[in-house]
Structure 1
Amino acid sequence: MSLQPGPVRDDGLDRPNHLNHLSHLNRLIGGLGSDGGAITPSVYDTARVAVLLPDRPRTERMLDWLAHRQQPDGGWGSPETPPARDLPTLAAILALTPHPAHRATAERAAEFLRYHAPRHWAGPVPQDIPVGLELLLPPLLAQARTAHPTLPTTLYDALRALGEHRRRLIASHAPHPPGTAAVHSWESWGGWGGTSQPLPVDGSGGIGHSPAATAAGLHHLGAEDRAQADTLRTYLTRAAANRPPLLPTVWPIDVFERTWALHALALAGLLDHPRLADSCTRQLDLLQAALTPAGLGMSEHFAPDGDITATASLTLALAGRPTDPAVVEGFRHGDHYRTYPGELQPSLTTTAHALHARAHTGQTSPTGPVHRFLRERQGADGRWSGDKWHTSWIYTTAHVLFALPAGTATRRGIEALLAAQRPDGGWGAQHHATAGETGYAVLALHTHRTADTAPALARAAHWLARWQESGGVCDCLLWTGKETYCPQRVDRVVAHAALLAATRATRPGAPD
């Protein structure tokens, strides 16, 4: 598309550096959904593929990458997200132990789990555990104890009990069609009816949009079924295309990527910007065409979920496009909204997205039960935290603030964000500011902006401008799947949209 349109509206974005930001953002928008989505590689899935398919090309490179990803304390995953560390660490132990060159690395990892487990698993299971952890961890722990017999077991009893409960629920609803939530963790159960049953291969060519589950299916597949084996191998090759031979924790995510990026652009008021409108329109057309009466999933080959359905419906409504409120209401469960049927841990952000969609179409009351569900889960510090899909309280707080009207809870949430801004102008729940978290904090302040938020937005604009000038990399592993990951295009679009929103909001004469 040409980036030389006629006169641009007077929004403070017509300076050369801002036009450069717009041009870069336009290219990002045009690429949304391509190659199944952009996502960081996964320790867990890469390790499982290395174990289950040891003859796969470049396995040695996979093992070397795993070894180099080990943290100084011996584990894998960020020390800031303890519940997300056990699964990748166990998977890495199993991958590295058989290889003499990596055995010492595996021993350090086993020692890490011996002191990590008592600190983080002695009590009840947290609400924000990684996807499928209760199903995936116990069998890996049992396998790893063969070579490392002193690994802890009883400390995971509560998680194991939750897993057994989950297995009974899943078994009671069998069989599970391809591309459904239960199949995403297929590698932990092999079908709940034995591997003699047909593999639940979906339209992506894989099992459950999971490289680990797909590798397990390929491992168990009979030698006579060459056509299906080729299909599964092709899926793994395509899933690794961003950083071969490393695998992501989920793929494809093209519809999710498109939805979340457009949502951020809608919040920033940029969907109709003259330099972005053509690209946004094409992506909105794709999103609208994909939304069915049953909802929308992470790709066209995966079952609809309440979070993507609500966020897509909201985004289309914010863009002035017609939506059917009933499609979101199908995920209602009492005073909150479910991501998937049978969900045991509800999501704050799924509920917030559904509430925002309903409120935008006038379908809910600010004194209703869903509003109360969110307000009652606000912490004493004004934050919302503990969401199952993102590890950062900044992300969770921002998304709740998008949904709630002005009031005491909103004011306390904004105050919490303002207090958490770092001296450099960015936001980050861990050791440093990140582009995605800073972007979402800016969009929340932009949504509820007052004279008090203007200085914070100006400082954030400077931080985001420096980030963009430094190359605009997004690799922060804050989103939650089977392990933490980063949907890189999403975070980059969020950061660029926030930079432009903050620039426009803080220009001289901008309205409060």
Structure 2
Amino acid sequence: MSGRPWEQTAPERPAPAGGAGAASTGGAGAALAERSARDPGGDLVAAMLAEPAGRSSPSVYETGRLVSLAPWLTGHGERIAWLVRTQRPDGAWGAPDGYALVPTLSATEALLAVLRRGDGGFARERLGQVAHRGLRALHDTLTGPGAPPPPDLPATDLIVPALTDLIAGHLDALRERPDLGDWDAAPRPPLPVGLDGGRLDRVRMLLAAGRPLPEKLAHALEVVGPAARRAVGVGPVGPGTVGASPAATAAWLGPDPGPAHPARAYLEDLVRQYGGPVPCASPITVFERSWVLGTLCRAGVPVRVPDVLTTELRDALGPTGTPTGPGLPADADTTSVTVYALARLGQPVDPTVLRAYDTGEHFCTWPGEDGASVTTNAHVLDALGHLLPYGGPAAPWLASAVDRVTRWLLDQQEPDGRWSDRWHASPYYATCCAVLALTGYGSADAARRAVDRAASWVLAGQRPDGSWGRWSGSAEETAYAVQTLIAAGHRDGPGAAAVARGAAWLSEVDDHDGAPELWHDKDLYRPTLIVQAAVRAARWLVRPEAGGG
């Protein structure tokens, strides 16, 4: 291959082939086992083709926003019932450690809005009880001086004050409606320490002055209230979405959208796909495809990839890369994983598309990012390191970037050996991303010591049943831990017993169980096929015939 492989057209080819699968006897079972052995990633490819928009777990936050903003949308009653059904015993919604704040605010505000309007077909007494319990959870444990700090989720500093204001308005109105229950003792939730409404006020002032919002804020357009309706400089793109968000789209449409509007058609299609509740973001086509294919190819899982998938991934890359979804800005994370996946599939593209994100020290997820992401930089190292050997005119920049990103990642490692990141709740994900990138493409001798420290941290965190997880053992986090240990050389080393226990645990669990949600958006979510690909990769790597992985 020449020094500029991205200028060539590579033929379709399967990812690296490997062996085997469980033997089966007789008829259809034997045929199915044979197909699985030939193409063990085939079901994931088929799922991506069947649902091009991608699939994620439903979001309490986003579903609550549709209940509040779009009672006209098909499935309104199903969304209310889902919110009632998913409330935790303590009255909150969502995960531990501060992650319950945003979903609990959203669900509580939505149920209070339903009480005021009187829609949805639910008994007012029942909804009042659920809302009271949500308010109590907010006041007792999720806000105020003793509350855990809000996690670093997108737009939390806008969402929390916006929902707190809405809840206060509902409570004032309900106190004047004795027919809707006794709300006199229901206090307005206080804001968590360190949060105020200052940034939200500035965003609303931008819109009031007729100035367009920054592109990334379209994803949370619902926070601006009625001013979101047909907001200046914001509109539906792709399949009709605003900001790749059901909530933002509903807010942009307003309370009485036309029946044939493309944005309404987008929402109607989405609620049909999910059966009522909705995810935080859709479509996630490029995100899902690049992560799934890159993960499977790295592990050597045989997978036959139709031309349409690689063509659409290539076509998604513009001058500054590709976004996660339509209506969002292009970002270095999705772009780098797409570049890496295409290169692994024999369809390399020009890696200098990532230069727009090079800060001189590390890579930003997008220009103007607040903070920096470990996993974005690990993915950049994957992409640039994989293409570095090809040389070409970009070689000096590629070599410099690989060195700089390696050093930056090493500097971000925590004292105990782990890495953490702003796009995922579990340090097992960030640690796995960093270790895979450093063992594959890291240019510093210090990378080996960092990887050894990371492996020691992973080994220390294994649960007695063989699993790993932040809150409890999960297939996703166990898959990351196993991949980390194998990359660090522990298949046959001192960690071999831990790898074997993790493999045994993974062999007994269902990677379709839908839990937990660990990925960061406005709410935690689970990108279904991406997680299944991670589990599939770990299972493939621990096969006895996989050798050193």
Structure-1-length-normalised TM-score: 0.85
Tell me if structure 2 keeps the 8 A contact 1:240–1:247: yes
Residues 459 and 159 (structure 1 numbering): CA distance in 2 closer, same or farther, change over 3 Å? farther
Q: Are residues 1:339 and 2:341 paired?
A: no
Letter in 2 for 1:26: G
Letter in 2 for 1:28: L
Specify the alignment match of 1:51 in structure 2: 68
Give the Cα–Cα distance (whole angstroms) in 2 for the partners of residues 122 and 473 of structure 1: 31
Letter in 1 for 2:23: P
Q: Are residues 1:209 and 2:232 paired?
A: no
Tell me if structure 2 keeps the 8 A contact 1:390–1:478: yes
Residue 67 (structure 1) aligned to one of 45, 62, 84: 84
SS of 1:237 mapped into structure 2: helix
Specify the alignment match of 2:161 in structure 1: 138
* Aligned-residue offset at 1:158: 3.0
Residues 352 and 511 (structure 1 numbering): CA distance in 2 closer, same or farther, change over 3 Å? closer
Question: How many residue pairs are counted as aligned between the two chains?
Answer: 483
Letter in 1 for 2:108: I
Residues 268 and 104 (structure 1 numbering): CA distance in 2 closer, same or farther, change over 3 Å? same
Give the Cα–Cα distance (whole angstroms) in 1 for the partners of residues 16 and 431 of structure 2: 32
Specify the alignment match of 1:459 in structure 2: 501
Letter in 1 for 2:244: H
* Deviation larger for 11-20 or 242-251: 11-20
Residue 436 (structure 2) aligned to one of 393, 402, 415: 402
Tell me if structure 1 keeps the 8 A contact 2:18–2:300: no
SS of 2:278 mapped into structure 1: coil
Unaligned runs of 5+ in 1: 1-7
The 5 Å alignment of 1:23-62 reads: 25-32=41-48, 34-62=51-79
Give the Cα–Cα distance (whole angstroms) in 2 for the partners of residues 474 and 48 of structure 1: 22
Question: What is the alpha-carbon root mean square deviation over aligned residues?
Answer: 3.1
Give the Cα–Cα distance (whole angstroms) in 1 for the partners of residues 109 and 218 of structure 2: 23
* Aligned-residue offset at 1:154: 4.8
Letter in 1 for 2:453: R
Q: What's the CA shift string for 1:105-146, capped at 9, x where partnerless? A: 1111111111224577778x66x5221111122111011023
Tell me if structure 2 keeps the 8 A contact 1:87–1:483: yes
Letter in 2 for 1:42: S
* Aligned-residue offset at 1:75: 0.8
Give the Cα–Cα distance (whole angstroms) in 1 for the partners of residues 321 and 231 of structure 2: 32
User: Is the radius of gyration larger for structure 1 or structure 2?
Assistant: 2
Specify the alignment match of 1:3 in structure 2: none
Letter in 2 for 1:153: P
* Aligned-residue offset at 1:56: 3.0
Residue 112 (structure 1) aligned to one of 132, 137, 146: 137
* Aligned-residue offset at 1:403: 1.6
Tell me if structure 1 keeps the 8 A contact 2:144–2:192: no
Give the Cα–Cα distance (whole angstroms) in 1 for the partners of residues 451 and 534 of structure 2: 21
* Deviation larger for 355-364 or 153-162: 153-162
Residue 391 (structure 1) aligned to one of 407, 412, 425: 425
Q: Are residues 1:155 and 2:197 paired?
A: no
Give the Cα–Cα distance (whole angstroms) in 2 for the partners of residues 19 and 121 of structure 1: 57
* Deviation larger for 137-146 or 49-58: 49-58
Tell me if structure 1 keeps the 8 A contact 2:241–2:249: yes
Give the Cα–Cα distance (whole angstroms) in 2 for the partners of residues 323 and 108 of structure 1: 53
Residue 330 (structure 1) aligned to one of 356, 359, 362: 356
Q: What's the CA shift string for 1:261-316, capped at 9, x where partnerless? A: 0121122022xx3xx2x336653343223223320112466432110001111222
Unaligned runs of 5+ in 2: 1-14, 25-32, 116-123, 172-185, 389-397
Give the Cα–Cα distance (whole angstroms) in 1 for the partners of residues 379 and 527 of structure 2: 18
Letter in 1 for 2:288: E
Tell me if structure 2 keeps the 8 A contact 1:195–1:220: no
Residues 112 and 339 (structure 1 numbering): CA distance in 2 closer, same or farther, change over 3 Å? same
The 5 Å alignment of 1:214-233 reads: 214-219=249-254, 226=258, 230-233=261-264
Specify the alignment match of 1:5 in structure 2: none
Residues 379 and 280 (structure 1 numbering): CA distance in 2 closer, same or farther, change over 3 Å? farther
Give the Cα–Cα distance (whole angstroms) in 1 for the partners of residues 276 and 68 of structure 2: 14
Residues 10 and 25 (structure 1 numbering): CA distance in 2 closer, same or farther, change over 3 Å? closer
* Aligned-residue offset at 1:173: 12
Residue 92 (structure 1) aligned to one of 93, 107, 113: 107
* Aligned-residue offset at 1:195: 4.7
Tell me if structure 1 keeps the 8 A contact 2:162–2:224: no
Residue 78 (structure 1) aligned to one of 95, 99, 114: 95
Tell me if structure 2 keeps the 8 A contact 1:460–1:502: no
Residues 57 and 511 (structure 1 numbering): CA distance in 2 closer, same or farther, change over 3 Å? closer
Specify the alignment match of 2:269 in structure 1: 238
Give the Cα–Cα distance (whole angstroms) in 2 for the partners of residues 171 and 267 of structure 1: 49
Residue 16 (structure 1) aligned to one of 19, 23, 38: 23
Residue 487 (structure 2) aligned to one of 424, 439, 447: 447
Give the Cα–Cα distance (whole angstroms) in 2 for the partners of residues 121 and 305 of structure 1: 36
Give the Cα–Cα distance (whole angstroms) in 2 for the partners of residues 28 and 365 of structure 1: 36
Letter in 1 for 2:217: A
Give the Cα–Cα distance (whole angstroms) in 2 for the partners of residues 457 and 398 of structure 1: 14
Residues 327 and 159 (structure 1 numbering): CA distance in 2 closer, same or farther, change over 3 Å? farther
Residues 37 and 492 (structure 1 numbering): CA distance in 2 closer, same or farther, change over 3 Å? same
